[in-house]
Chains A and B, each alone.
Chain A
Amino acid sequence: MSKKKRLKRIVEAIAEMGAGKFYYHIEKSSKKDSIDALISGINMMAEEIGEALLHEGYVNSNETIKHIVLMNFIIDLDGNVKAVNQQACDILFYNCLEIVGGSFDNLLNKRSTPKWKRHWDMLKNKKMLDTSIALTFKTKSGLLLPSACYINKLGGKKNGEESIIVTVVKHSKRQVELEEYLIAKENNKKESSKKNNPLTLMDNRQKVKLSSSDVIKIREVRDYFMDNLEMDFPPIKEIALEFGTNAFKIKYGFKELYGVSVFRFIRNERLRKAKMLVQGSNISFKKITQLCGFKSVPSFSATFKNEFGYTPKELRRKFLAENP
């Protein structure tokens, strides 16, 4: 690809971002030069902004509607697109007639094609009925769209009448990190269901508005917790004062931004760190207890087992057995 064309792609992507669409990626060449590096920087920035938009969008939900972008394809047993929704055509910059009748893998980036082909073979052999894979689409103008694709095989009345449906959604970080999501769900069922359904974000209840400087402070407090998990933390009131805000904003803000109470957040992060050290190192459990801020080895062990279903000893043994 010529330099002119590469720069054109960069400008296109930047224009899309200016229009609020941060889910496009720019394709790199194999030159590994400064332009490729710049492209990487822009792609990474788009990911961060896209992520930040989701959080900010939730915090100020009385002003912003959260869109979950959706593409749907119905594919026949030959791998050709039978039907597609309008939004998919818009996102990929194709006319619907250009997509329908063509092979599904024409819409994919070259790197994703082998992955699709592998899954396609498995689908046709009925080895799987429901699955999900990460595929990257390529728009008509050459922009990339990394997507989580949910693939379902739909049965028909007779053999040969089956269809494959491919659904693409853009989801928030919380849903990708399954563990965190499950933990949050246990204790904040109302909050999670609200987060999953964008329509209910526009509810009539008066929400406290957090300013962007509030959000910055809350993130600073979060960083403080993350960097000092071995500590016995002072009361939130004191911490809030030190960071120049108040306890209510910290408690409320944590629930809004991270979906859990401050207490639960700290507990989850301690357990996450502990799990990593248990699985990934030979450090004594006594040392891990200290490093993660637990009161004693027995209480650490009990909390650990409660959370993960195994004691630290059992999990370490299991991990080592499965990962020699």
Chain B
Amino acid sequence: MDSIENKFALYTLNGGLLHIRYYKDIVINHEAAIRIVADRLKLQNGIYYPALCDIRGVEEVDKPGRDYLAREGSTLLKAVAFIVGDPMSDILSYFYLKTTKPSIPTKAFQDMDEAKLFLEKYI
């Protein structure tokens, strides 16, 4: 299995990277966050990966959703590169970085290639 999807995002394993692309107008609450992490773990099958995470479709993450992702969102990940570019995704990634202080290397990028370059050393 090298790809999985749910109503929130499409997950693909490619070239040693885990690609996650959120669909448009996604609202993440606690229940959604659980699903998002569970499906990701299912695809990873116990193996650590660096993740390229395109959050440009996310519209809102409520407090319970943020808290869940802050706790469990980095499980089995080596590093995370967010793809941002519109005002909403910019502020979400910035807020996430500031409030959760993730324990794995996490950075936001407007450019896909730059993001992949950042993650390369973690493959």
The chain A residues found within 8 Å of chain B, CB to CB, are: 32-34, 36-38, 40-41, 44, 47-48, 51, 146, 173, 176, 223, 226-227, 272-273, 276-277, 279-284, 287, 323
B37, B41, B64, B88: the one contacting A37 at CB < 8 Å is B88
Instruction: State in angstroms the CA–CA spacing of A48 and B20 once bound together.
Output: 27
Contact (Cβ within 8 A) A32 B87 = yes
Contact (Cβ within 8 A) A281 B46 = yes
Contact (Cβ within 8 A) A40 B60 = yes
Contact (Cβ within 8 A) B63 A284 = no
Contact (Cβ within 8 A) B46 A283 = yes
Given A277-B41, A281-B45, A44 contacting B88 (CB threshold 8 A): no
Nearest chain A residue, comparing its CB with the CB of B100: A223
Contact (Cβ within 8 A) B45 A282 = yes
Given A33-B87, A34-B87, A273-B75, A44 contacting B95 (CB threshold 8 A): yes
Nearest chain B residue, comparing its CB with the CB of A48: B99
Within 8 A of A (CB), among B95-120: 95, 99, 101, 103
Taking the closest CB of chain B, its distance from the CB of A128, in whole angstroms, is 20
Contact (Cβ within 8 A) A176 B64 = yes
**Which residues of chain B have C-beta atoms less than 8 A from A146's C-beta?**
62
- What 1/0 mask marks residues of chain B from 78 to 90 whose CB sits below 8 Å from any chain A CB? 0000000011101
Within 8 A of A (CB), among B20-39: 37-38
**Which residues of chain A have C-beta atoms less than 8 A from B67's C-beta?**
173
Interface of A is mostly: helix
Contact (Cβ within 8 A) B42 A280 = yes
Nearest chain B residue, comparing its CB with the CB of A288: B46
Contact (Cβ within 8 A) A37 B90 = yes
B42, B64, B88: the one contacting A40 at CB < 8 Å is B88
Contact (Cβ within 8 A) B91 A40 = yes
Taking the closest CB of chain B, its distance from the CB of A292, in whole angstroms, is 11
Q: How many residues from B make CB contacts under 8 Å with A? A: 29
B38, B61, B91, B92: the one contacting A279 at CB < 8 Å is B38
Instruction: State in angstroms the CA–CA spacing of A298 and B69 once bound together.
Output: 30
Nearest chain A residue, comparing its CB with the CB of B99: A48
Question: Which 9 pairs between the two chains have the least Cβ-Cβ distance?
Answer: A37-B87, A280-B38, A283-B46, A281-B41, A280-B41, A47-B63, A227-B103, A37-B91, A34-B87
Taking the closest CB of chain A, its distance from the CB of B40, in whole angstroms, is 8
Of the A-B pairs whose beta carbons lie under 8 Å apart in the complex, a sample of 21, sorted by A's number, is: A32-B59, A34-B87, A36-B88, A37-B86, A37-B87, A37-B90, A37-B91, A40-B88, A40-B92, A44-B61, A48-B99, A51-B63, A273-B72, A276-B38, A276-B41, A276-B75, A279-B38, A280-B38, A281-B44, A281-B46, A323-B38
Nearest chain A residue, comparing its CB with the CB of B103: A227
Question: Does chain A have a CB within 8 A of B71?
Answer: yes
Nearest chain A residue, comparing its CB with the CB of B39: A280
Question: Does chain A have a CB within 8 A of B19?
Answer: no
**Which residues of chain A have C-beta atoms less than 8 A from B87's C-beta?**
32-34, 36-38
Instruction: State in angstroms the CA–CA spacing of A72 and B16 once bound together.
Output: 55
Question: Does chain A have a CB within 8 A of B10?
Answer: no
Given A176-B64, A273-B75, A276-B75, A32 contacting B88 (CB threshold 8 A): yes
